[in-house]
Amino acid sequence: MKAKDVAQYLLDHPEFFNKHTELIADLQIPHLHDDKVISINERQVTSLRDKNQVLQNKLLELISFGEENDLISEKMHRLCIALLNISSMDELLEELKFSLHEDFTIPHVALRLWNLSCDDTAHTEFTTTSEDIRTIASSLTQPYCGDHIADEIKNWFGEEAEHPNSFSMIPLKTTESIGLLVLASPDHERFCSETGTLHLKRLGDLVSASLARYNQVITTAETSQNNRSNERQT
């Protein structure tokens, strides 16, 4: 018989040790970490302790994840409230950068926008991007995390371009692609390929909705102004 056959037999016949109680006292099991031997009862206690420790570690890990998620959700809530109160593109961009730098402690933030109506395109965020970058943004269905991005995007960080080692590219979309938000950190693990993207996607949705809302206000204002001009001419 092989060892697995013996193990399966004992599992299939739990009454075995009831019929052979002397074995419980006589069985000597090698200790996992010492040269001494222990009884089957002691081995069971040791096994239960090991399992309990594993469960305890898992529980502590889940609690840590929960606390971290609560903290991120609180920061996202503060950003959401702040963006709801903005009244201009200047305020929107300023509040977004401030929150990402100060509240989320992200060292490097870059943003490029397109397909938006804006009364002030002098912002760096409206600098013309290549068609390749727009294609990358429109092709992303989820935020990207990793250590590789296009050189053109690296240049968005200016003199700090050599310092970031991990990146997250977050596509901004409404009914069409409207931009790309890029976060970067000198920490190799901050935005590694194993990083969860749930909160990053929610950040992208929030920023996209805020831009679309402001864009709609600008478009409506322009339409009203054009209508008034037409009426005066008539």
- Radius of gyration from C-alpha coordinates of the chain: 30
**Residue where the block lists tokens 């901004």:** 172
Nearest-angstrom CA–CA distance, 119 and 135: 25
Nearest-angstrom CA–CA distance, 228 and 234: 10
Neighbours of 139 (CB within 10 A): 9
Q: Which residues contact 188 (CB under 8 A, 6 or more apart)?
A: 147, 165, 166
pLDDT, residue 186, reads 92
pLDDT, residue 219, reads 44
Residue 191, amino acid: F
Integer angstrom CA distances of residue 84 from 73, 122, 145, 221 = 16, 23, 28, 19
Nearest-angstrom CA–CA distance, 151 and 193: 19
pLDDT, residue 218, reads 44
Alpha-carbon dihedral 69, 70, 71, 77, rounded to 10 degrees: 110
Mean pLDDT (10-residue bins), the chain, 234 residues? 84 80 67 60 71 86 84 91 87 93 93 80 85 95 93 86 87 93 93 89 94 63 47 52
The structure's pTM equals 0.68
pLDDT, residue 144, reads 96
